[in-house]
Structure 1
Amino acid sequence: MMSGPCHILIITKKKATDAIPLWTELHETNESMPDETEAEETDRLQGTEENKTISNICDVPDSLEDARRQLAFFFPNFDRKNTEQKFEKTLALIRPCVLRERRNSIMQSIKDDGFEVAMQKEITLSEEQAREFYKEHENEDYFPALLEQMTSGPTLVLALTRKNAIQHWRDLLGPKTIEEAKKVPNSLRAKYAIDNISINQLHGSSSLNDAQKELEFFFPQEHTLALIKPDAAKNHKASYFKQERVNSLVIVLDEIMQKVKDAGFTISKVKEEALTREMATQFYKDHEGKPFFEELVSCMTEGPSVIMVLTKENAVQEWRKLMGPTDPEVAKESFPESIRAQFAQNTLSNAVHGSSNREHALESIEYVFGEIDID
């Protein structure tokens, strides 16, 4: 791939059809060409390397998610050039005072305006965190009141997505000052203004660059350790026969691996390995001494596990959310799309494992993979 120039193409179907399976069909058609056609093609290309089949000389994404990722890598401004409205992500804050009283109403307004909540967390900011986030306002007269507001209780932090999300959310919020917002009575800042408080109760990113920085502040890229346990690793490989190279390791993707990819995780490291008792004890050291501990260790060491480092914003909590509750019966009832709801056998053989917090994740990653640079 580094031996010379590559041609990188964007291929588009004009009709409302999915280009990816059509391109795959073209691969298959080309590979099944009769010998006579192949001979003619070979003559035409005069014996050069170009007589290889399309599938040998072209690398094409096999899903819409992969296509979007590769487009963003090679053509970062493609959407800006070709679409008037861009699918974006923006930061929204619901500040403590209004969160206590009007959470449900505000969340309904967000939903009604076509936003999806990609990520969310509730956090009580320290004064240091509030000062850091609002440092560009530190010379303003309202800064002390802003600090007091932002540290007075939990703030709801949201990553909102939709087409043209940044400008649409700002339009929905209305003017920044309460006085100006009240001139636009349907704006959220006017509707949710609080008497005797001069600070507006909702925040939105002002530009694409600000959105990226603010989202990184509250939802930094994280790494977490994830395991597909032996019971799931051997029982759920039926639906995928495709291979993908990740850090020089070829792995067979199964249904669980596809759910990992669909959830937006990057697989930064991966290997298949049977856990030793020492490794299983390290992963579950918080449970050592409990009645089920020996049975849990036995389940974890009965065969190979797929061990991964997963990366995305808020990775630790996002992976735990995708796994679902420990008890598969509870998972089926409350989170039917979760991995454990669909693939777990019982509370111990429950398909997957994940680190419980960021510190545990980093410790476990170093334990399994050594000191590695995965940033």
Structure 2
Amino acid sequence: MMSGPCHILVITKKEATDAIPHWKELRELRESVPDEPKAEKPDRLEGTMETESILNICDVQDSVEDASRQLAFFFPNFYIKKTDQKVEKTLALIRPSLLKERRHSIMQRIKDDGFKIAMQKEIILSEEQTREFYKEHENQDYFPVLLEQMTSGPTLVLALTRENAVAHWRDLLGPKTVEEAKKENPNSLRAKYAVNNIPIDQLHGSSTPDDAQKELQFFFPQEHTLALIKPAAAKKHKDDIMQKVKDAGFTISKIKEEALTREMATQFYKDHKGKPFFEELVTCMTEGPSVIMVLTKVNAVEEWRQLMGPTDPEVAKETSPESIRARFAQDILSNAVHGSSNREHALKSIECVFGEIDID
């Protein structure tokens, strides 16, 4: 499946609503008919299917559920209603004073207006971060107040999605200043969620789709983490684990399959050196080929750790039953997978294994 390009098709049948039985019937018919001249079989699929079983060259779903799952994997927007509007993602900031006073109310309003929260994080911005994000406003009279406000406490950062998200969120926000909003559009969010005695508005939204992309990248940068399927799990459960990685939305930026050297295993687990189980752990990690990957995603380090589950598979079964370790681990040492503990560790581990840090 990885040896070259695959052709991924969405097949429909106009005169029937259920295409799966017809496709399966065609497959079964082809397998049951002995070879005869092409002219006598006008309905037969052409090309390489003449000499190979359809079963061997095509992946055919057995149910609507299977088909829906695979459509969602390869064509994530397939079921989105086709309109003149475009499903977009935009950045929204709820500044510290509003977040402290009316968090629940503004979050409910966002959901009521049809937005979905794709990502969120709560962060206390440093002065340096605030100056970088608002550098275009640095010469404005209001900038000192903005700087003070943005560093005064946690800001809630949201990635919002819906049709025409950028324009819709900007319309809801209303005029740029609190004074203008109250006069010109008292029902706008900036007017309704103004905070007493604070002259600047408490909400931010991206101005254009291009700005949204840049601003989202500022707060939700792509991360790389090292992920490893350990030898025992690689031997028995490689395909299942790889599927979970893909289903979780990770991009596999780099991958190779090889046995770790003792030096590499020692580097991965240097924090455990000197502990009673260390030698057994190193032996476990070097007993056969491992699948070693660089996974890329927003918040990749933490999300991979969540997908792995707790170190002890017995604990994983109780607290994270769908995690990789709950499903595929043998014991606490041979616990299926390994992952970097933080971004710094991830970069060092990637460099150790792949000899470089720069990932295309």
Using the size of structure 2 for normalisation, the TM-score is 0.76
* Aligned 8 A contact 2:98 2:195 in 1: yes
5 Å-filtered alignment, 1:237-316, equals 253-254=239-240, 256-316=241-301
Q: Deviations over 1:94-148 (max 9, x none)?
A: 2222333444444444444444333233322222221221222233322221122
Within 5 Å, give how 1:1-375 maps onto structure 2: 25=24, 28=27, 32=31, 34-36=33-35, 39-40=38-39, 63-68=70-75, 83-182=83-182, 187-236=188-237, 253-254=239-240, 256-371=241-356, 374-375=359-360
- Does the CA-based 8 Å contact 2:255-2:293 persist in structure 1? yes
CA distance in 2, matches of 1:43, 1:218: 58
User: Which 10-residue stretch deviates more, 332-341 or 271-280?
Assistant: 332-341
Distance 2:29 2:211 in 1: 47
Distance 1:351 1:120, change over 3 A: farther
Partner AA of 1:40 in structure 2:
A
Normalising by structure 1, report the TM-score: 0.74
The CA distance in 2 between the partners of 1:214 and 1:50, in whole Å, is 49
Range that drifts further, 162-171 or 197-206: 162-171
C-alpha distance in structure 2 between counterparts of 1:141 and 1:31, whole Å: 76
Cα distance, 1:319 vs structure 2 = 1.8
Residues 1:303 and 1:187: Cα distance change in structure 2 (over 3 Å): farther
Q: In structure 2, what is the Cα distance between the partners aligned to 1:146 and 1:15? A: 62
Q: For residue 263 of structure 1, what is the amino acid of its counterpart?
A: A
Percent identical pairs in the alignment equals: 74
Question: Structure 2 CA distance, aligned partners of 1:91 and 1:132?
Answer: 16
Give the stretch that moved more between structures: 188-197 or 264-273: 188-197
1:316 and 1:358 in contact (8 A); partners too: yes
Q: Structure 1 residues 29-38 or 263-272, which shifts more?
A: 29-38
Change (3 A) 1:358 1:176: same
| Cα distance change on mapping 1:225 and 1:35 into 2, 3 Å | same
SS of residue in 2 equivalent to 1:161: strand
Cα deviations across residues 264-317 of structure 1 (Å, max 9, x unaligned)? 111121122222322111112223234443343333233332111111223222
Distance 1:8 1:352, change over 3 A: closer
Query: What is the distance in 2 between the residues matched to 1:143 and 1:60?
Result: 60
Asked if the contact 1:31–1:53 (Cα under 8 Å) also holds between the matched residues in 2, the reply is no
Preserved contact between residue 24 and residue 60 of structure 2 (Cα < 8 Å): no
Query: Do 2:97 and 2:149's aligned partners in 1 also have CA atoms closer than 8 Å?
Result: yes
For structure 2, the 5+ residue unaligned runs are 1-6, 62-66
Query: Is contact 1:157-1:218 (8 Å) kept?
Result: yes
- What is the deviation of 1:15? 8.9
CA contact (8 A) 2:119 2:158 kept: yes
Across the two proteins, how many residue pairs are aligned to each other? 344
Deviation at 1:25, TM superposition (A): 4.3
CA RMSD of aligned residues (A): 4.1
